[in-house]
């Protein structure tokens, strides 16, 4: 009986020792990639390029919409005086224009998303490398994102585990001063 109790105590102490050791080896940090991105010098240039590209696409779409509306307006004014063959041909043409306009709008949206990815990917790669370097240099075992797409993922954490300023410094950027909400 004594040996069973001794064995049980041995396992309890071994487990507690293992748990304490595992806990001391775990070091978790977190950051906000969007915040870091907003502090990069190239962020304003990327934003400007995206806005310019969106304006170009919007202008093209508006031009196509205006062309379609003019043609549809002309058709409505002249439909009564057109032959049935001409009316049917114009209706098919208007339907084709509308289909092409819808396709162009879809293509423009996909093009905008691709442009955004193309412009942002190098910055995200740069940030990821800095995060990895900070993790290694500071002995973190894991780094989490505090939010994804504007939604909070990390619900509560110690401020001293926030590595955002360390990442900014690694990128050669002086972090902005801390404010009440920051």
Q: For residues 20 and 17, what is the distance between their CA atoms, to the nearest angstrom?
A: 5
Assess contact for 24 and 138: CB atoms under 8 A: no
Going by C-beta distance under 8 Å and a sequence separation of 6 or more, which residues neighbour residue 7?
A: none
What pLDDT shows up at residue 164?
A: 92
Q: For residues 41 and 46, what is the distance between their CA atoms, to the nearest angstrom?
A: 9
Q: Do the domain assignments include residue 87?
A: yes
Q: Do the domain assignments include residue 178?
A: no
Q: Do the domain assignments include residue 143?
A: yes
Q: For residues 36 and 23, what is the distance between their CA atoms, to the nearest angstrom?
A: 29
What pLDDT shows up at residue 8?
A: 39
- Of residues 106 and 180, more confidence is placed in 106
- The tens digit of pLDDT for each residue in 22-72 reads 556 899 999 999 999 999 999 999 999 999 999 999 999 999 999 999 999
Count of structural domains within the chain? 1
Q: Do the domain assignments include residue 177?
A: no
The answer on pLDDT for 15 being more than 70 is no
- Of residues 3 and 24, more confidence is placed in 24
Could you list the residue range(s) of the whole structural domain that residue 55 is in? 2-170
Q: Do the domain assignments include residue 175?
A: no
What pLDDT shows up at residue 13?
A: 45
- The tens digit of pLDDT for each residue in 67-113 reads 999 999 999 999 999 999 999 999 999 999 999 999 999 999 999 99
Q: Do the domain assignments include residue 8?
A: yes
The CATH number of whichever domain residue 112 belongs to comes to 3.30.910.20
- The tens digit of pLDDT for each residue in 121-174 reads 999 999 999 999 999 999 999 999 888 877 777 778 888 899 999 999 999 999
What pLDDT shows up at residue 149?
A: 76
Q: For residues 126 and 167, what is the distance between their CA atoms, to the nearest angstrom?
A: 10
Q: Do the domain assignments include residue 62?
A: yes
Q: Do the domain assignments include residue 14?
A: yes
Assess contact for 164 and 175: CB atoms under 8 A: yes
pTM: 0.70
């Amino acid at each position: 009986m004594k040996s069973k109790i001794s064995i049980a105590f041995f396992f309890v102490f071994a487990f507690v020792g293992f748990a304490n050791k595992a806990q001391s080896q775990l070091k978790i940090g977190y950051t906000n990639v969007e915040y870091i991105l907003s502090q990069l010098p190239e962020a304003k240039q990327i934003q400007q390029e995206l806005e310019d590209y969106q304006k170009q696409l919007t202008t093209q779409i508006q031009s196509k919409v205006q062309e379609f509306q003019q043609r549809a307006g002309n058709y409505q004014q002249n439909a009564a005086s057109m032959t049935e063959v001409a009316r049917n041909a114009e209706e098919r043409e208007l339907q084709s224009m509308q289909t092409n306009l819808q396709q162009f709008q879809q293509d423009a949206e996909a093009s905008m998303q691709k442009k955004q990815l193309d412009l942002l990917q190098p910055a995200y790669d740069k940030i990821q490398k800095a995060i990895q370097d900070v993790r290694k240099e500071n002995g973190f075992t894991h780094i989490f994102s505090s939010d994804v797409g504007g939604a909070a993922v990390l619900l509560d954490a110690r401020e001293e585990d926030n590595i955002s300023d360390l990442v900014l410094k690694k990128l050669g950027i002086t972090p902005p001063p801390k404010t009440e909400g920051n």
